Amino acid sequence: MERITWDQFFMAQSHLLALRSTCTRLAVGATIVRDRRIIAGGYNGSISGGDHCIDKGCYVVDGHCVRTVHAEMNALLQCAKYGTQAGDADLYVTHFPCLQCTKSIIQGGITRLYYAADYRNHPYAIELLEQAGVEVVHVPFDERKIDFLSDEKTALYLEMLEKLREKGGSEEELAYFSGRVEELYGNHST
């Protein structure tokens, strides 16, 4: 088994946090790290005790859901709530932050921003990060690394392929489906 890097580890934490999201439009997770130690985390969701998008639907104004607090803000607010300084820390986030979160990241003193996926990267946000001297690092992340059921899914697909083979599936069909399993779940014998 291949050992993941620290950047992949903290990005995986952010992806796990995103699984707690109550937003139906985009699940985002954020992890604040100092000296390779997690100091805070957040996901996008409603205020504590408030209505959630998964229950009541999104409350969209000007193309944005105003019901949710973004993951980056929740992580920064967690630092504030518990008296942990975010200054000189790193932030790992599943998606490139919006303009408002970018401003909060800068004001919070974050020195490095790691993100996994581009998402409406606002040109002014990029400009502000550059002006503030925040290092921005793209960390490609393979979400299959945190799929807790990947072995079971792979076994099921391989079993289905074998059944298709037994029922006389054409080599073309088998090759197609084997290729799709390979793309989704990596190298497995089919």
Q: Which of 2, 72, 127, 171 is catalytic?
A: 72
Query: Is 44 in contact with 9 (CB distance < 8 Å)?
Result: no
**Strands 64-65 and 60-61, bridge-based pairing:** antiparallel
Query: Is 90 in contact with 139 (CB distance < 8 Å)?
Result: no
Query: Is 73 in contact with 101 (CB distance < 8 Å)?
Result: yes
Is 72 a residue of the active site?
yes
Other CB atoms within a 10 A radius of the CB of residue 64 amount to 13
Other CB atoms within a 10 A radius of the CB of residue 150 amount to 14
Q: Which residues are catalytic?
A: 72
